[in-house]
Amino acid sequence: MSNSRPSCDRSLVLDGKVAMITGASSGIGAAAARLFAREGAAVVVTARRAERLRALVEEISAGGGRALAVPADVASAADVERVVRSAVDAFGRLDCAFNNAGFGTAGTELHETGQDVYEQTMDVNVRGVWNCLRFQIPEMLGAGGGTIVNTSSVAGQRATGASAAYVAAKHAVLGLTRAAAAEYAQRGIRVNALVVGSTRTEMMDRAVRTMPELRERFEDETLQKRMAGPAEVAEAALWLCSDRASFVTGAAMPVDGGTTAA
């Protein structure tokens, strides 16, 4: 962990804030950790792959940022509580959270989907967000407010090429987001979701390896005819976590290249 902070002439979007980011060992989560740190936040990164987290923290610290790795499984309430407590112990508070950890599959019809796949999909995507909200919100209430961004998906609004379990789980993330936004808006906590389109992540790479035809399908569904890079999604999360989005809560913000507009 490093206590230095990057300095530059321009105003930093998250200057002095403390941010928790889940699913940070790769893809969107790792991109968000790098971006949030560059924008002045102390980042507490979590995922199950400890070595990758440590490498990420070393990278951020080498660039003058502040970062702490706390390996954990978001499906475990005890693990999530430990991550939140570690953030507060290390940096004094928790200002914002990007609940990004996810798991999904494609290519298997509902009746052929194994019970284990269904349970893992629900555990990571739904129970994981639930656990995060349960432990993040009390810290933010105690500090007078905060911001939370949950990662949903185009699959949270309609059926896609992903599994039925994933579609159901990402619909649930939007429900949790809207319910939390309504309950805590007058107590200073904003809660929003990203409706993420096809993005070049490990999970997408696995899906495309299994079903190569998905790449062309996912790209064709967007108005821009391409997939997003993880950093493009991270930029949207950064804005929602910042004071620049002060009048935005309960939103399902598309970051999908126009997929849901088509």
Note the residue count of the chain. 262
Place of tokens 């740190």: 37
Q: How many CA within 13 A on the CB side of residue 5?
A: 15
CA distance linking residue 203 with residue 21, whole number of Å: 18
Q: Which residues are known catalytic residues?
A: 166
Q: Which of 42, 36, 44, 116 is nearest to 79 (CA)?
A: 44
CA distance linking residue 23 with residue 45, whole number of Å: 8
